Structure 1
Amino acid sequence: MKVAIPIFCFVIMGLFVFQPLFGQNWWEEEKARQQSGTIVTYEGNIGGNGVKALANYEHQYMEFEASATVDMKEMENEVQAELMAKSAAELRAYAEAAKFISGVMVGAVYNAEKTLAKDEQVIGKVEKTLVKFARKIEDKVEWRNNVPLATVKLGVLFQNKNGLIDMVIPAIIEQTHQLGISPYQPQSNINPPGNLYTGVIIDARGLNVSPSIAPMILTGTENRQVYGSLTVSRDYAVQNGIVGYYKTMEAAKSDVNRVGNNPLVIQAEKTAINNHHLCINETDATRIYGADLQSGFLKECRVGIVVD
């Protein structure tokens, strides 16, 4: 075991030595912003291990925390013990964050049975993305009964710099098709609206919405997608995120970078599939479809959702 320790440490160090050095302080900037109610915390069990995660859907980032310890009988001193405990916690954090994202944040969002995603290939791709782009924002070691307990916290953006959405969109599209969902088409010819709309805001207050990394706007018998992974441009989704979440209508309308200066406002009727997605009536679906024909805002992800 002791012979393998230097090799193990070298592998861990290699994961970080060859990471791109962005030079941006995006994590500090995001954390400095006013915290919103569009924050979801998760504390549970994945693969037999306890996990803690926090997802901020308004500012589109996630924190993930994992802990690990070592067998002191295999350690030569306390310094080595702390180093190995941190290394083990880092490995576990990356591996379990990938499972968390692939399962809880993707699989459960698109699966009525709330089962975890079992596509190991998807999990592997997500983990590679995390290793390349996630930031270690905190690590600490506590000694308990003469044994080190290391805790590591990772930070990762959903969109833009980290490419996380780019990795999960294929799996999301596949699961969307498996649910029998297809792009919305109006039942009759429509007349374009008089106003030129620059985006759309869905008012979902009072519906107990659970934010998602890739929500859908549905109509009909919840099998026609007015907006979602089947309608967006992948490039825009990766750059901007599929939607923006807001706590107030004023905040949504003021985000002109997302919804423009003249957004169409639509009232959601109910939630769908574990409360992650929204349903609107046929009339409003037709209004969005017609407005989008004029300005093409859906493919550019110019969609906001107001939640409680």
Structure 2
Amino acid sequence: MLVEQPRVRRQWIGPTIISVAILCSGVPVVAQAAGEGTSHYTDMVTPNGRADWTTGVVTAKGIGIPPKNPASALQAKEMARTAAWAVALRNLLEAVKGVRVDSTTTVNNFVTTNDEVRTRVEGMVKGAKLVKEQEMPDGSFETTVEMKLTGDFSSVVLPKLLPRPDPLPEDKKHPIDKKSIISKSYTGLVVDARGIGAQSALAPRILNEQGDEAYSVAYVEQRDVAEQGIAIYVPDLPSAQANSRVTSRPLLVKALRATGNNRTDLVVSDADVQTIHGIPEHFKFLKQAKVLVVLDAQ
């Protein structure tokens, strides 16, 4: 059950021919999660690759065409299969490079400026998981591959960000309204960021109205950063309510605006930040990255 802060009344409205990738649309879409009763938030990070921001997986497809004059049918088949795999991996690499890391950078920024990061990212792409391989009636092959944005990938990209800060300094805090002191702790945080043009990223930040951090990668235990990421995204409140990430009593707050070049940092009210930081137990769910963001589904 989503829990709103009681002091504020809110209403929530519930080529080469070989390199063609068969992926449609260039806007975020809603994909139904099989067997979970929830929807996934996905978007096309490049024309040839899609990111599922609910599961933290990037997927790409590639098509391989058999040669015109093969020595044998077997050779034609194997060459088409090999070509489809190579194209899918190339498309996957481009998709991964297009993933937003934070409000100002993408993976490509790290790859082009750090040889170690580039080598490791390219190596992980080469080890991508084969999702589907299909032979077409014309002899071509369509191959689908995917790679997780958590695990080893997170450990390569996210440590390049700023070190852990202290919780919001005393001089940045605002007086707590005695009427708003909470009697029970919450089990997670849901930020409703619909209607403000916000976008997804590996390392979003939650800020107060003065721009001070209330939550970021620096608040999360490194193990949890690698295993599950900083936050996950869903396209609607029912999906947020059904997601086990924030468990049984998450705090629901409304983002006032999105900031940064990539519009991935979310500003919430000072009163909401006071509630988020209101009791020590809340820092526990922040450390465990029990944070979920609702974005517009298009």
**TM-score if structure 2 supplies the norm length?**
0.70
Alignment of 1:166-185 (within 5 A): 166-174=152-160, 176-177=161-162, 185=168
1:215 aligns with 2:201: no
Residue 243 of structure 1 deviates from its aligned partner by: 1.8
1:123 aligns with 2:118: yes
| Equivalent in 92, 101, 110 of residue 87 of structure 2 | 92
The CA deviation string for residues 41-60 of structure 1, in whole angstroms up to 9 with x for no partner, is 2443xxxxxxx222222233
Mark the CA change 1:70 to 1:124 in structure 2 (over 3 Å): closer, same or farther.
farther
Runs of at least 5 residues in structure 1 that lack an aligned partner in the other structure: 1-28, 45-51
Identity %: 19
Mark the CA change 1:134 to 1:243 in structure 2 (over 3 Å): closer, same or farther.
same
Residue 298 of structure 1 deviates from its aligned partner by: 0.6
SS in 1 for 2:142: strand
Residue 70 of structure 1 deviates from its aligned partner by: 6.0
**TM-score if structure 1 supplies the norm length?**
0.68
| Cα distance in 2, alignment partners of residues 290 and 211 from structure 1 | 26
The CA deviation string for residues 93-148 of structure 1, in whole angstroms up to 9 with x for no partner, is 224423421x2114586329x968414432332333344452332333464xxxx6
Structure 1 contact 292–298 (Cα < 8 Å) conserved? no
| Cα distance in 1, alignment partners of residues 71 and 38 from structure 2 | 44
Runs of at least 5 residues in structure 2 that lack an aligned partner in the other structure: 1-31
| Cα distance in 1, alignment partners of residues 103 and 204 from structure 2 | 8
Residue 303 of structure 1 deviates from its aligned partner by: 0.8
| Equivalent in 39, 57, 63 of residue 61 of structure 1 | 57
Q: Which runs of 4+ in 1 moved over 6 A?
A: 189-192
Mark the CA change 1:108 to 1:40 in structure 2 (over 3 Å): closer, same or farther.
same
SS in 2 for 1:90: helix
SS in 2 for 1:110: coil
Q: What amino acid maps onto 1:214 in structure 2?
A: A
In terms of fraction of residues, the more helix-rich structure is: 1
Higher relative contact order (CA 8 A, sep 6+): 2
Residue 297 of structure 1 deviates from its aligned partner by: 0.5
Structure 1 contact 197–295 (Cα < 8 Å) conserved? no
Give the aligned partner of residue 296 of structure 1: 284
The CA deviation string for residues 265-292 of structure 1, in whole angstroms up to 9 with x for no partner, is 2211111232233122333223322345
Alignment of 1:1-308 (within 5 A): 31=34, 36=39, 38-44=41-47, 52-69=48-65, 72=68, 75-101=70-96, 103-106=97-100, 110-111=104-105, 117-118=111-112, 119-132=114-127, 134-141=129-136, 143=138, 149-159=140-150, 163=151, 166-174=152-160, 176-177=161-162, 185-188=168-171, 193-219=182-208, 222=211, 224-255=212-243, 257-273=244-260, 274-292=262-280, 296-308=284-296
The CA deviation string for residues 56-103 of structure 1, in whole angstroms up to 9 with x for no partner, is 222333321123446546x422321221232132133224423421x2
- Name the Cα RMSD after superposition: 3.5
| Cα distance in 2, alignment partners of residues 53 and 126 from structure 1 | 16
Mark the CA change 1:137 to 1:92 in structure 2 (over 3 Å): closer, same or farther.
same
| Cα distance in 1, alignment partners of residues 38 and 189 from structure 2 | 24
| Cα distance in 1, alignment partners of residues 154 and 233 from structure 2 | 19
SS in 1 for 2:288: coil
Structure 1 contact 107–116 (Cα < 8 Å) conserved? no
